[in-house]
């Protein structure tokens, strides 16, 4: 029996955005992977501005720090995909003197975790 997969957009909100005030740090993307699924993240895109940083956390561990824009029309492809069992959180650090509007997008598939019988 094969593993059935679903577009990640059927399981979570894959495109989120938020304004971040000057000199502050805020979560701009958060998604909890619903049980019994596991996410396989295959692409990401993010806005970025000078004097800012975007930090991606997968399952509570820092995955990457972005210091450049990655347009949604030219996302960064992850090959092989990154496995996420619990949550994706993205934090924007705005070290600029102006507020900025941050967007983050993720793509991939979700698959049901198979129950293992010993």
What's the pTM?
0.92
Coil/strand/helix, residue 16: strand
User: What confidence tens digit (pLDDT) does each residue in 50-93 have?
Assistant: 999 999 999 999 999 998 999 989 999 999 999 999 999 999 99
pLDDT of residue 30: 98
Q: Is 117 within the bounds of a domain?
A: no
- Indicate the pLDDT class of residue 117, thresholds 50, 70 and 90: very low
**25 Cβ contact partners less than 8 Å away, ≥ 6 residues apart:** 91, 92, 93, 94
Q: Is 118 within the bounds of a domain?
A: no
pLDDT of residue 1: 55
Residues in the chain: 118
Q: Is 38 within the bounds of a domain?
A: yes
CATH number of the domain within which 50 lies: 2.60.120
Q: Rounded CA gap, 98 and 51, in Å? A: 10
- Helices and strands counted in the chain (H then E): 0, 9
- Indicate the pLDDT class of residue 27, thresholds 50, 70 and 90: very high
Neighbour-count burial of 36, counting CB atoms closer than 10 A to its CB (0-12 exposed, 13-18 middle, 19+ buried): exposed
11: containing domain:
5-112
What phi and psi, each to the nearest 5 degrees, are found at residue 21? -65, 155
Tally of structural domains, the chain:
1
């Amino acid at each position: 029996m094969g593993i059935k997969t679903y577009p990640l957009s059927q399981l979570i909100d894959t495109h989120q955005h938020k304004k971040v005030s000057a000199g502050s740090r805020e979560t701009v993307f958060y998604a909890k992977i619903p049980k019994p699924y596991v996410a396989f993240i295959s692409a990401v895109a993010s806005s970025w501005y000078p004097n800012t940083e975007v930090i991606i956390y997968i399952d509570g561990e820092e995955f990457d720090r972005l210091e450049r824009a990655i347009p949604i029309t030219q996302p960064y492809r992850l090959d092989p995909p990154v496995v996420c069992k619990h949550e994706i959180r993205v934090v924007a650090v705005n070290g600029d003197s102006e507020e900025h509007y941050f967007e983050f997008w993720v793509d991939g598939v979700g698959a049901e975790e198979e129950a293992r019988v010993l």
